[in-house]
Amino acid sequence: MTGSGRSRRGRRWLRRRTRARVRRVLLVGLVVGSLLLAGAGWVGFRGWQARANLLNAAGLARELSAQIVAGDTARAQRTLAALQEQSGAARSATGGPAWWLAGNTPYTGDDLTAVRRIAVTVDDLAREAFPPLVQTDVSALVPRDGRLDLGALRSVAQRLTRVDAVVHDSGAGLRSVPTGGLLPEVRDALDGLRVEVDKLAGLLSGITKGAQLLPALLGADGARTYLLVSQNLSELRATGGMFGAYAVVRARDGRVDLVKQGTAVDLQRFVPPLAIDAETRALYTDLPGMYPADVNLTPHFPTAAKLYREMVRRRAGVTADGVLAVDPVALSYLLSAVGSVTVPGYPALSAKTVVRTLLADSYLTMDLDTQDDFYAASAAAVFNSLLGRDVNPRGILSAFDRSITERRILFWSARPEEQRMFAANRIGGILPEQEKAPTVGVFLNDGSGAKLGYYLRPSATVTVGDCQDEGRRQLRLRFTLHSSLPDSGLTKAVLGMGKSGDPYTARTLVTVYSPAGGAVIGARLDGVEAHMGSGTDRRRQVAIANVEVRPGATRTLDVDLLTGRDTDGTPELWLTPTATPWTTQVVPAPSCNQ
């Protein structure tokens, strides 16, 4: 055989071998492709099942929440069982080898992983967090016959601590899922669940810490003494209103008694003023350390509480273990649960009328000394009713929750180890120096020397603007203040000193705090550049504008701000609580990372 023949036979053999290899590759590819398509169909079917289960679970979770709040334990147990069935089915549908394999493929893998995390989180909450909540007897959190059962309270605290840990772990698992590149519907579902879990975590954290601390706070380890301070919203201060009447409250073994009362006028003026830090003095001069009515010109409640405690110690000889501040709107929430109360020698108080009675009517019919006595007597009447009546515990807890959310109830402890527990909760009134989502503060201080706060109607809108260097974000704050004051007919007790010149013109010092680490860029009042006082406080730039409003008029203050470095999330407003709730809006924008 010639060399050329051998060569032709070799080429034919090579072609046959190549065709056989190609056929095998095609066959294997067809089989693998068929398996992948079948797997994709299976995953798609399971995903459809999971979606239906999760939608059902969401509806059941809302029902369960309402039933827990209402105390309908029997229905809550049935709803919980149905919820666990749906959440377990969703978890099962998003598990197994096929889902895992699909979750590790390009394009769709991230979405499937996120759906799996959503299903696992919902099921964990349904099986580990919600059952203890359904079984918790919330009546242990409110007094009976003037006393809290400290043993039952400790049992509730232990149960809530376990639930709190599950909820926080669930939140951490959701935050670990990257959102970049997810399908919009998956990202929206993930973000929505994050928000709801964070809300639950915040609520549980406050209740859990409260349940843990209450035995000691209520004298389980020895008697405690507190100052109960009423914030008078007729004369605005940054935390709400001027500190008016106060009561000395004694707690021992879960029983609470009101032992003494007084007013800010009794404490008189302090010369030389009490020591305050340099930043506070630069913004508010020595007034917070000089006058009891001015300790809360600053929005940072611990500063105000420490000053007031020291003033009471020096003038009244009482050394308090803490300061609790409330306002008439918080009293109205409590009266909704307690019912109307009588105040000997004064008008009765009801949920619908207490705010108007205390903040408007009393100034038209009483002199200042009588008005202060009425405030003190009103606080005592509500306090005694809360402790002495057989009340619906969920109604009381709902009133406290709403009041704390709106920062109408604030508490400071003189014991550092206890005070640290309140640092991350609204009840602490602590202006944070570090934050994840940017907060913008808008705080109001009366500049008229009058009692016009009841007639003011504030609103605020924050619009998220452009992304800047270093992970900063531009924000636009629009603040409006409307006066519903009449132009005549008010008494001297209401009009006060009339520092604006016209006694019917309300002068309000509007203090704007930038986000932590941020800045105030500029401001305009009714479209004209505003000249504002400025300073810093707790890593925030501060600007103060004098806004004077005539009866029936509205003024508008626009402020441009920058967030701190590398902060993200929807901005939050921190506002002075007023007699009439603020109208607020936050206009978001896509994340700078998207």
Lowest-pLDDT range, 23-27, 237-241, 457-461, 577-581? Answer: 23-27
Distance separating alpha carbons of residues 234 and 212, to the nearest angstrom: 35
- The answer to whether the Cα torsion of 275, 277, 281, 284 is positive or negative is negative
Quick check: 339 and 382 in contact, CB under 8 A? no
Does residue 207 sit in the same domain as residue 229?
A: no
pLDDT value at 255 more than 70: yes
The Cβ-side half-sphere exposure at 334, using a 13 Å CA radius, reads 26
Q: Contact at 8 Å (CB) between 395 and 335? A: no
Task: Select, from the ranges 2-16, 370-384, 535-549, the one with the highest average predicted confidence (pLDDT).
Answer: 535-549
Is the pLDDT higher at 372 or at 49? 372
Is position 2 within any domain? no
Percent of the chain with pLDDT over 90: 43
**What's the CA gap between 594 and 591, in Å, rounded?**
5
Residue 573 domain-assigned? yes
> Has residue 278 got a pLDDT over 50?
yes
- The mean predicted confidence, pLDDT, of the chain is 83
Q: Residue 128 has which token pair?
A: 């580990």
Tens digits of per-residue pLDDT, 139-172? 667 777 777 788 887 888 888 888 888 888 888 8
pLDDT digits (tens, 9 = 90+) for 175-210: 887 877 777 777 777 777 777 777 777 767 767 777
Residue 203: what residue type? Answer: L
- Pick the most confident of 162-171, 382-391, 467-476: 467-476
Residue 350's CATH number: 3.40.630
Q: Which residue has the tokens 């103060």?
A: 544
Structure-block tokens of residue 488: 């005549």
Task: Identify the pLDDT of residue 21.
Answer: 45
Token reading at 563: 């967030």
Mean per-residue pLDDT, 214-242: 93
pLDDT bracket for residue 96 (50, 70, 90)? low
pLDDT digits (tens, 9 = 90+) for 559-570: 999 999 877 778
Same-domain status, 295 and 151 = no
Count of beta carbons in the 10 Å neighbourhood of residue 465: 16
Angle at 242 (CA atoms; ends 380, 314), nearest 5 degrees = 75
**Where in the sequence is the domain holding 297, given as residue range(s)?**
224-419
Asked whether the predicted pLDDT for residue 12 surpasses 70, the reply is: no
590 pLDDT higher than 60: yes
Query: Is the domain of 334 the same as that of 444?
Result: no
Q: Do 234 and 309 share a domain, yes or no?
A: yes
Claim to verify: residue 322 and residue 412 sit in the same structural domain: yes
pLDDT of residue 583: 96
Output 97 or 456, whichever has higher pLDDT: 456
The pLDDT assigned to 105 comes to: 64
Q: Are residues 392 and 501 in the same domain?
A: no
Domain end: 217, 247, 275, which one?
217
User: Which DSSP helix (H) or strand (E) runs through 101?
Assistant: helix 97-103
Q: Last residue of some domain: 165, 197, 217?
A: 217
Task: Indicate whether 13 belongs to any domain.
Answer: no
Mean pLDDT value across residues 509-527: 96
Shared domain for 166 and 281, answered yes or no, is no
Listed residues 217, 235, 261: the one ending a domain: 217
Residue 511 lies in a domain: yes
1 within some domain = no
Confidence of residue 17 (pLDDT cuts 50, 70, 90): low
Q: Is residue 374 part of a domain?
A: yes
pLDDT of 116 reads 76
Pair 247, 316 in one domain? yes
User: Can you say how many angstroms the Cα of residue 255 is from the centroid of all Cα atoms in its chain?
Assistant: 29
Position 28 confidence tier, pLDDT thresholds 50, 70, 90: very low
Section 323-334 average pLDDT? 94
Are residues 403 and 496 both part of a single domain? no
pLDDT at residue 69, rounded to an integer: 63
CA distances, 43 to each of 103, 117, 244 (Å) = 10, 16, 65
Domains: count for the chain: 3
Distances (CA, A) of 481 to 123, 380, 409, 459: 47, 33, 24, 7
Shared-domain flag, residues 316 and 285? yes
Q: Can you give the pLDDT at residue 104? A: 60
Please give the structure tokens belonging to residue 549. 């409003």
As a whole number, mean pLDDT of residues 102-106 equals 60
Claim to verify: residue 402 and residue 467 sit in the same structural domain: no
Report whether pLDDT(227) > 60: yes
**pLDDT > 50? residue 43:** no
Lowest mean pLDDT segment, chosen from 163-172, 461-470, 546-555: 163-172
Render pLDDT for 127-139 as a digit per residue (tens, 0 to 9): 888 888 888 776 6
Task: Give the mean model confidence (pLDDT) for residues 251-273.
Answer: 90
Q: What is the mean pLDDT of residues 69-78?
A: 80
Q: What is the pTM of this model?
A: 0.80
pLDDT of residue 79: 86
Angle, CA 155 vertex, CA 150 and CA 160 arms, to 5°: 120
Most confident of 96-110, 257-271, 553-567: 553-567
pLDDT number for residue 97: 66
Q: What is the CATH number of the domain that holds 517?
A: 2.60.40
Is residue 291 in a domain?
yes
Question: What was the pLDDT predicted at 49?
Answer: 61
pLDDT (average), residues 273-300: 97
How much is the pLDDT for 279?
Answer: 96
Is the predicted pLDDT of residue 270 greater than 90, yes or no? yes
Q: Is the pLDDT of residue 103 over 70?
A: no
Residue 326: name the closest of 386, 366, 266 by CA. 386
Going by pLDDT thresholds of 50, 70 and 90, the confidence category of residue 272 is very high
Residue 246 has pLDDT above 80, yes or no: yes
Note the pLDDT of residue 48: 55
Judged against a pLDDT cut of 60, whether residue 37 lies above it is answered with: no
* Whole-angstrom distance, CA of residue 101 vs CA of residue 109: 8
Task: Judge whether residue 276 has pLDDT over 70.
Answer: yes
Report whether 482 contacts 549 (CB < 8 A): yes
User: If pLDDT is split at 50, 70 and 90, which confidence band does 235 have?
Assistant: very high
Q: Which residue has the higher pLDDT, 149 or 327?
A: 327
pLDDT computed for residue 44 by the predictor: 46
**Residues 573-586, mean pLDDT to the nearest whole number:** 96
Is residue 484 one of the residues assigned to a domain?
yes
Strands 583-587 and 456-467: parallel
* Least confident window among 122-126, 141-145, 580-584: 141-145
| Residue from 382, 406, 379 nearest 334 by CA | 382
Q: Could you please report the per-residue DSSP string of 108-119?
A: THHHHHHHHHHH
Q: How confident is the model at residue 553 (pLDDT cuts 50, 70, 90)?
A: very high
For residue 586, pLDDT over 60 is answered with: yes
pLDDT of 385 higher than 60? yes
Residue 285 has a pLDDT of 96
Pair (187, 241) in one structural domain: no
The whole-number average pLDDT for the span 384-407 is 82
Q: What is the pLDDT of residue 24?
A: 42
3-state secondary structure of 79: helix
